[in-house]
Amino acid sequence: MKTKLLVLMLLAAGAVFAQLSIGVRIGPPPRARIVRVQPQSPGVGYSWVGGYWYPVGHRYTWHQGYWTRPAYAGAHWVEPRHDGTRYFEGYWDGDHGRVAHDHRWDKASDRNRDFNRDHDRH
């Protein structure tokens, strides 16, 4: 009886601490596109974010390079990466912590200056 109780307690504890992860694996993204000329900075306080592939549904979409203001003063851009199994999104990091990239920023003209015309389209 004690053995059964111990086994049930261990199973219950495992169920409480178990994690469920659901994801779509679509493999690594294509090679990055080549930027022939990085456009001139639009002004002081802007950072260049190079183009990168990011997953949308079951495929990758190219996000062209652009100038943007960092999430906060002193933040630097950490590029997205794929480790051969999983994709990790890019983010801003620095003394005030990590800030996830928000693609809505890309459309905010007061935040970003998108100069993407000078890259190689594969």
Q: How many CB atoms lie within 10 A of CB 111?
A: 14
* Residue 26 in tokens: 């679509």
Phi and psi angles of residue 14, each rounded to the nearest 5 degrees, phi first: -65, -40
Q: pLDDT by residue (tens digit) across 35-49?
A: 778 899 999 999 999
Answer whether 0.85 is exceeded by the pTM.
no
Domain ranges across the chain:
2-113
- pLDDT of 48: 92
Q: pLDDT by residue (tens digit) across 68-113?
A: 999 999 999 999 999 888 889 999 999 999 999 776 665 554 444 4
